[in-house]
Amino acid sequence: LNLVVLVSGGGTNLQAVLDAIDSGKIRNARVAAVISNNPKAYALERARKHGIEAVCVSPGRFSARCDFEKALLEKVKGYRPDLVVLAGCLVVIPPEMVEAFPNRIINIHPSLIPSFCGTGFYGLKPHEAVLKRGCRVTGATVHFVDAGTDSGPIILQKAVYVQEGDTPEILQRRVMEEAEWKIMPEAINLIAEGRVSVENGKVKIKDYT
């Protein structure tokens, strides 16, 4: 499975994927390139350290949003990916990209969808909302990307308990450690094994218990 990973920030989810490939937890996949919209993303550094092509397509270099989106799509297509992985990617994926890769783009979201997702729930926002509502449980979701925001078929979810004294930052970290860094590599491996399909808008995983 040829992967292209889109990032915007620190890249800890990218790191989890790279580690899982190295340790054999993900079999049959390689990262062809890491693409960031943000030139300062530490994720680019992580990719380079791993000997992986790291490129930036910055919206600032284009006068119109659609030109940036076109350039990003062309860049991604150039690597002929079987799967596009959004790992902390803050770019709203344009419809042309979704159409070019139907059920072949996955995203990680730091909440249990359909709670605390959609436009506006990025970064610390879902965790702030979880604490504000007094939820006892939150978690993370890996899903296919469709035309909406965080609305595509759900592949994997993992729950994480909220604890007394949690701040949004503490909770964000625990959701990453206990959920995101596990279900993202697991979802990629399941897809690489050819066990994931979408039927009537819902994900089926072969022999998954």
As annotated, the active-site residues are 109
User: Residue 43: what residue type?
Assistant: A
- Is there a binding annotation on residue 118? no
Contacts of 33 (CB under 8 A, 6+ apart): 4, 5, 47, 52, 53, 54, 55, 79
**Inter-residue contact 33 to 54 (CB < 8 Å):** yes
Exposure on the CB side of residue 190, measured as CA atoms within 13 A: 22
| 180 lies in the binding site for ligand GRF (CB under 6 A) | yes
| 31 lies in the binding site for ligand GRF (CB under 6 A) | no
Report the alpha-carbon distance of residue 207 to residue 189 in Å, rounded. Answer: 14
31 vs 87 by CB, closer to ligand GRF: 87
61 DSSP 8-state letter: G
Residue from 1, 5, 9, 143 touching ligand GRF (CB under 6 A): that is: 9
Residue from 52, 87, 98, 203 touching ligand GRF (CB under 6 A): that is: 87
| 47 lies in the binding site for ligand GRF (CB under 6 A) | no
- Is there a binding annotation on residue 189? no
Contact segment (CB under 6 A) with ligand GRF among 47-55, 72-80, 107-115, 189-197 equals: 107-115
